[in-house]
Amino acid sequence: METLHATSLWTPEGWRSDVGLRIGDDGRLAALDPGTASGTRRVVPGIANLHSHAFQRAMAGMAERQTDPSDSFWTWRETMYRFAARFSPQSLYDVAAQLYVEMLEAGYTTVCEFHYLHHAPDGRAYDDPAAMSRALIAAARDTGIRLTLLPVLYMTGGFDGRPLGERQRRFGHDVDAYLRLLQILRADAGDGVAVGCALHSLRAVPEQAMAQTLAALPSDARVHIHIAEQIGEVQDCLAIRNARPVEWLLDHAPVDARWTLVHATHLTSEETQAVARSGATVAICTTTEANLGDGLFPVREYFDAGGRWGVGSDSHISVCPVEELRWLEYGQRLITRHRNIAVSVETPSVGETLMRGVAASAGDSSGHAIGTLRVGEYVDAVVLDEAAPVFAGARDEDALDRWLFAGNRRAVRETWVGGRRVVAQGRHRDRDAVAARYADTLRGLLAAD
């Protein structure tokens, strides 16, 4: 058995000194052994990235010129659709591999991939209908990140049931074809990959189709859904279904701890409280929501209600959990004009509160035994870089605050997934080769302009 040594180990129960994480043959934590560490090695749980569209990494930073005086999510979406039309399984693999290397070097150890780029550009299924999904699985396996693959059911172009538009034709399935895809992927997934279900949104999945799909899923399947990201979506749902999106979902679906609501930005107080009571996780994608001008999630009220939450890099305008967590807090400081919002009487440290939040939701949202580095969970861990100036003179109780609020340079020394080290000295083992393939692929994608 291999042992990961820690002079200081953080878990949601707090800091422990001088321990060895004994790793079983299955990559899980077999035991915590005292008195085995030397030097200075602070170890924290790896962070789960709860929402990712891998292909969008290739267009990050390329939609920052005004194309319309009323630029918004909806105009950005048209740019994204044009870019999405260019991908093949090979180019998706190359972009996803680059993204996953960046995630691992930043401290993410699991990614929940919300995947709707299913078919060929003309909308016809590939000979292997799982070809695009397999590209993502291969990229995750080759880079070493843990994957929750969430194939997306995408059927209609709006709450009124209109057909998908030409630019959405790569995304669509009927329910039967979608369930066959899930069956294929579950049979082939293998170690380190969980297969769940993603409903694109209420506007893209009619009520009957949603019910049929949910009834066919295994009882432990994870379900993710985009919801209430845009004011326009809320207004359309009210007009067609006579309820707000989250209100409608909670009344019509068995939402519980298996569910992850992505964004849920625009909530009433009643909805906020109801989501917290449901046990679902909210995936807050702070940097993407800021980039798209979506709005701010009601963090303070939701936290006070005991709601479960995590973070996702979504469109990958940033691939850094530090930035997602920092700006989750900073957004609330800006609208309340107060400091240190995400705290409690028991935990006055913002950094510890934020880390507890992402640790607590990781397993339920992803479907993997991860998040807290307890015995029986996978050893998905980050060794912080004690040579980074941000940690100079830091006590254990200060380390998370320093990392999350002053860690402007990468402060990850090692990343471990399933008891295997995939990042050492701050570098992924295959960084250079992956980056070279990515650069070639991106040039090819851009040549289509």
In tens, the pLDDT along 185-210 reads 999 888 899 999 999 999 999 999 99
Cα–Cα distance measured from residue 245 to residue 261, given in angstroms and rounded to the nearest whole number:
11
pLDDT in tens, 302-330: 999 999 999 999 999 999 999 999 999 99
pLDDT in tens, 118-152: 999 999 999 999 999 999 999 999 999 999 999 99
User: Per the domain annotation, does 438 fall within a domain?
Assistant: no
Residue 276 pLDDT greater than 70, yes or no? yes
Please tell me whether residues 31 and 70 are part of one structural domain: no
Please tell me whether residues 78 and 165 are part of one structural domain: yes
For all residues of the chain together, what is the average pLDDT?
95
User: Per the domain annotation, does 446 fall within a domain?
Assistant: no
pLDDT of 56 reads 94
pLDDT in tens, 4-42: 999 999 999 999 999 999 999 999 999 999 876 666 699
Please tell me whether residues 290 and 418 are part of one structural domain: no
- Please report the sign of the dihedral spanned by the C-alpha atoms of residue 97, residue 98, residue 101, residue 102: negative
Residue 1 pLDDT greater than 80, yes or no? no
pLDDT of 166 reads 87
Please tell me whether residues 425 and 334 are part of one structural domain: no
Please tell me whether residues 241 and 353 are part of one structural domain: yes
- Enumerate residues 6+ apart whose C-beta is below 8 A from 393: none
- Please report the sign of the dihedral spanned by the C-alpha atoms of residue 31, residue 2, residue 322, residue 267: negative
User: Per the domain annotation, does 412 fall within a domain?
Assistant: yes
pLDDT of 408 reads 80
CATH code at position 37: 2.30.40.10
How does residue 344 score in pLDDT terms, banded at 50, 70 and 90? confident
Q: Which residue in 94, 314, 380, 385 is the catalytic one?
A: 314
Residue 66 pLDDT greater than 80, yes or no? no
How big is the chain, counted in residues?
449
Please tell me whether residues 119 and 257 are part of one structural domain: yes
Q: Which residue in 119, 263, 316, 428 is the catalytic one?
A: 263
SS3 384: strand
User: Per the domain annotation, does 273 fall within a domain?
Assistant: yes
Least confident of 66-80, 92-106, 383-397, 420-434: 66-80
Among residues 326, 344, 366, which one ends one of the domains? 366
Tokens representing 44 are 């924290």
Among residues 313, 347, 366, which one ends one of the domains? 366
State yes or no: is 263 an active-site residue: yes
pLDDT of 335 reads 94
Please tell me whether residues 23 and 51 are part of one structural domain: no
pLDDT of 254 reads 98
Residue 224 pLDDT greater than 70, yes or no? yes
Please tell me whether residues 36 and 79 are part of one structural domain: no
**Global model pTM greater than 0.95:** yes
User: Per the domain annotation, does 441 fall within a domain?
Assistant: no
What single DSSP character describes residue 390?
A: G
Residue 448 pLDDT greater than 80, yes or no? no
User: Per the domain annotation, does 414 fall within a domain?
Assistant: yes
Alpha helices for 231-320 (secondary structure H): 231-241, 245-252, 269-278, 286-292, 299-304
Question: Which structural domain, as residue segments, surrounds residue 37?
Answer: 2-45+376-432
Q: Give Cα separations from 69 to 47, 65, 80, 146, 401 (angstroms).
A: 38, 11, 18, 41, 39
Cα angle, residue 98 at apex, residues 330 and 148 outer, rounded to 5°? 75
Please tell me whether residues 20 and 162 are part of one structural domain: no
Express as a percent the part of the chain with pLDDT over 90.
87
User: Per the domain annotation, does 335 fall within a domain?
Assistant: yes
Identify the CA nearest to 314 among candidates 48, 136, 47, 54: 54
Please tell me whether residues 243 and 322 are part of one structural domain: yes
Express as a percent the part of the chain with pLDDT over 70.
97
Residue 72 pLDDT greater than 70, yes or no? no
Residue 71 pLDDT greater than 70, yes or no? no
Specify whether the CB–CB gap between 77 and 161 falls below 8 A.
no
Residue 98 pLDDT greater than 70, yes or no? yes
A 10 A CB-CB count for 16 gives 17
Structural domains in the chain (count): 2
The helix (run of H) or strand (run of E) holding residue 74 is helix 73-84
Task: Find tokens 């034709």 and name the residue.
Answer: 169
Helix axes 245-252, 207-216, angle to 10 degrees: 50
Residue 427 pLDDT greater than 80, yes or no? yes
Among residues 341, 366, 391, which one ends one of the domains? 366
pLDDT in tens, 145-157: 999 999 999 999 9
pLDDT of 35 reads 73
pLDDT of 37 reads 60
Please tell me whether residues 109 and 165 are part of one structural domain: yes
Identify the CA nearest to 275 among candidates 248, 294, 295: 248
State yes or no: is 252 an active-site residue: no
Please tell me whether residues 85 and 177 are part of one structural domain: yes
User: Per the domain annotation, does 229 fall within a domain?
Assistant: yes
CATH code at position 219: 3.20.20.140
